[in-house]
Amino acid sequence: MFMKLKLALLALLVFCGVVGFYTLKKEEKLTKEQVIIGYVFKVTDAYHYLPMKIDDAYSGKAFKQYLKALDYNKRILLLSDVKQLKKYEMSIDDEINNAAPLDLFENALALIQKREQEIRPYYKEMLLSAMDFNVKESVENDPDKREFPKNEGERKELWRKLLKLQVLSRYYNLKEAQSADSIKVKKSDVDLEKEAREKVLKSYEEWTKNIEQVDRMERFSTYVNALLSVYDPHTSYFAPRAKQDFDISMTGRLEGIGATLSVKDGYVKVNEIIPGSASARQGELEAGDLISEVAQGAAKAIDVVDMRLDKVVSMIRGPKGTEVRLTVKKIDGTTRIIKIIRDVVVIEETYAKSAILQKSGGEARYGYIDIPQFYADFSGKGGRNCSDDLLIEVERLSKENTKGTIIDLRNNGGGSLQDCVKMVGLFIESGPVVIVDDKSGESQAYTDPDPRIRDAKPLIVLVNGFSASASEIFAAAIQDYHRGVVMGTASTFGKGSVQRFFELDEFMPDQAEYTSAKPMGAVKLTMSKFFRINGGATQLKGVVPDIVLPDAYSNMKLGEKEEDFAMPWTKINPASYQLYKSEPNYKELGSALVQRIDTTAYFKLLNAHLALMKKEEENTLQSLKYVDYAAESKAIESSSNALNGVSKRANGLKIDFLHDEQEAIKTDKVKKERLENFHKTLLQDAYIYQALIALSEMH
């Protein structure tokens, strides 16, 4: 309650401060973009965990970030363009502090659009003629090791090599696919090379269409986010449409028709109809249909051929109960107008799901729960929360008399902090779960108030390098309480900060100059930092598992520590907490696992594959000669295929349906198919099997 009151007071202070800062005089006239910049940084200064002085030193850092965002691959701008833009390098702080004209953005926008026009003929010209893959030459694949081209000649040469590399890659793939095919009539190398060029040409034509449809607001968002990235990697600006997409990803719900879409030859293609959705109930829209026009109810239809997919999707989405009309070309060649009343679409893959695991030949049953993200319905519109769903899964597994539980947080990037606290509380008695430290220096422990332990069985938490934020809080708390065993790769991601969204419109005064700027979008700010209950931050260091397993990403540069301007690791006073009643037998489990993976075919091949990938990663100078490229590719493919072949074999793992599922799948074919696909994925996962064995050995 205290934290909510403190945030409310701070919000009031910030609101007053922002309004006061931007009360216009009658003769002043700011653009919408200037208003957005001003509000974004005023709110950031008031709320951010580590506010900074906006001066020339800041401007220098922000300029470098914007240059990266503008042309990361250094294949569009010339060195002279960079020098021209540097004239505005030290004006960024004036734009923010004094509502000055956005000279850097305006000049950069004009330059990048001009250069984009200039390079369009490149790929059309260069992909017309056959390419010689016997010439010994190479291209630097790492933009950080390249400089901006000094002139158009250098830029064209860079494009020639980059395009040749892409054609070479497709040519190699076509040759390999043909050699593996049993057809008698084979295409010649000349025909395959031409086909490869045509594929690259088509991809660049799509790229050009997308570039043409990038609007000013998207370009402006890129600019604002480059400026904000100097604070930390997670502070960012969301234009209204981007904020809507984020909300959908966090709730697993959207209001629309319930179809997944892609682009094919300029048309929007229906890939899949989501079971139970508005489209499924209406019954006319089918997978394979091509959408050519979209109309809102009885309004005039808009041609969407060659339109960017995200824009078409935004037109098709809409409030529950409203009508959208789609003009579609059916698979049989007929054209039809389909009327669909929008409804809430639930994305099932977002939510927690469980299964029963057994070792082959064994009778003991163990519970497995996959949590893709810490989702929550922040809007209060009746959506699902991961803490409620986890409790349901725990209770379902309890009825199955399982002997232990695996919580899978691999690739879970986090989400709701409040739900994370409740979820840890299912496995411990009442106590602190995480300590949150805000910009004032005040620390508050978030505590599980429920003294009940809903699952007291042996527990394993699976993590990897992509487990971040709330996933790290969960794993760290289980580890600090000695409640269970954390298994996974060398370290989790290392994101130890808390973000909150602020809708900019809520800070707007009533002046007409401001109301005309709505909607302005939102800013996501890092407001606080969280710490383990032992006092150490998860920031940068992440959570080091009790039992470490190698994985395919072990050699990749992953995690918060690789990000520009990541906040530092720090330590605070620990919370007061009691260890769990019994401590897992870490040493025995770890020793047994090391012996197993040293003799397990999958992990032996994995270690060899990692060594090969590390060598390839360090060699960023890519040969454009076919024999060299083919040799490198075959070595990687051979290693990867051997690894995949082993991981997909029977590995001693059995998956079973829960009792309530066994009844449901008798009549629900869609649910049966979804569960069978889920089980198939688990059967191919060597890490789940190792977790199961360790769980069976825990005491």
For residue 288, the one-letter residue type is G
The answer to whether residues 49 and 526 touch, using CB atoms and an 8 Å cutoff, is yes
**Of 11, 17, 139, which is closest to residue 629 (Cα–Cα)?**
139
Helix (H) or strand (E) holding 324: strand 323-329
Tokens of 447: 């505590």
- Burial code (b: 16+ CB inside 10 Å, e: under 16) for 113-148 equals eebbeebbebbeebbeeebebeeeeebeeeeeeeeb
The answer to whether residues 690 and 357 touch, using CB atoms and an 8 Å cutoff, is no
**Of 535, 415, 404, 394, which is closest to residue 476 (Cα–Cα)?**
535
Q: How far apart are CA 593 and CA 683, in angstroms?
A: 19
- For 194, counting Cβ atoms within 10 Å of its Cβ (0-12 exposed, 13-18 middle, 19+ buried), the class is middle
Contacts of 331 by beta carbon, 8 Å cutoff, 6+ apart: 286, 288, 289
* CA distances (Å), origin 296, targets 148, 254, 270, 272, 666: 46, 17, 19, 22, 39
CA 193 from chain centre, in angstroms, equals 35
For residue 85, the one-letter residue type is L
Tokens of 112: 């990048």
* CA distances (Å), origin 670, targets 77, 90, 137, 273, 274: 51, 59, 53, 11, 10
Please give the DSSP secondary-structure letter assigned to residue 687: H
Catalytic site positions: 469, 480, 495
Q: Is 357 helix (H, G, I), strand (E, B) or coil?
A: strand
Q: How far apart are CA 617 and CA 556, in angstroms?
A: 8
- 240 half-sphere exposure, CB direction, 13 A CA radius: 8
Is the link from the previous residue into 519 a cis peptide, with omega within 30 of 0?
A: yes
* CA distances (Å), origin 138, targets 30, 125, 435: 50, 21, 52
Q: What are phi and psi of 145, to 5 degrees?
A: -95, 5
Tokens of 258: 């319930």
Q: How far apart are CA 353 and CA 328, in angstroms?
A: 35
